[in-house]
Amino acid sequence: MKKLVVVLLFIVGITAMAQEKEMQRPNGDKFASLSPEQKVEYQVKKMSKDLSLNDKQVKEVKALVTKEIEKRDAIKTEMKALQAKQRIEMKAKMDEEYAVMRNEMRKILTSEQYTKWEKIHEERREKIKEKMKEKRENKKINAIPDEK
């Protein structure tokens, strides 16, 4: 389930870009307490800063991010109720949607901005993978009964 949630976050591709300390909650979920509008505004500001977007790009990215956040929230709700087979199908669907999103970003951004966006995205993706690996390892350690 956790892996699927991580993949879900990758659909948007930019959800993981929010790294500000003031938004971090104790459990590490940075966006759970924000409204969808706040999530959009934060992500657009972060991308604008990181990629030096012009006004037209900001407007287009904002529309794309809004659409993706709505999709992601709907998918998260739906995934909670799915069985294993359905989750595999959902993952394939999410991968396709992520590819579409990347193509749309490629149209909006200049080639330099897109390359930078991909690099930032990949770095953050690796950080998330490391955190998930640590969480799994911690669960395994905590699940081992004490030997007496």
Phi, psi of 89 (to 5 degrees): -65, -40
Higher pLDDT, 74 or 24: 74
Q: Per-residue pLDDT for 135 more than 70?
A: yes
What's the pLDDT score for residue 76?
80
> CB-side exposure of 33: number of CA atoms within 13 Å?
9
Q: Per-residue pLDDT for 24 more than 50?
A: no
* Sequence-distant (≥ 6) Cβ neighbours of residue 18 within 8 angstroms: 30, 31, 42, 43, 46
Give percent above pLDDT 70 in the chain.
Answer: 73
Of the candidate ranges 9-13, 16-20, 64-68, the one whose mean pLDDT is the lowest:
16-20
Categorize the per-residue pLDDT at 66 as very low, low, confident or very high, splitting at 50, 70 and 90: very high
* Sequence-distant (≥ 6) Cβ neighbours of residue 39 within 8 angstroms: 15, 31, 69
Q: Per-residue pLDDT for 88 more than 90?
A: no
pTM: 0.53
Q: Which two tokens stand for residue 23?
A: 């938004």
What's the pLDDT score for residue 96?
92
- Chain centroid offset of residue 16 CA: 4
Higher pLDDT, 103 or 77: 103
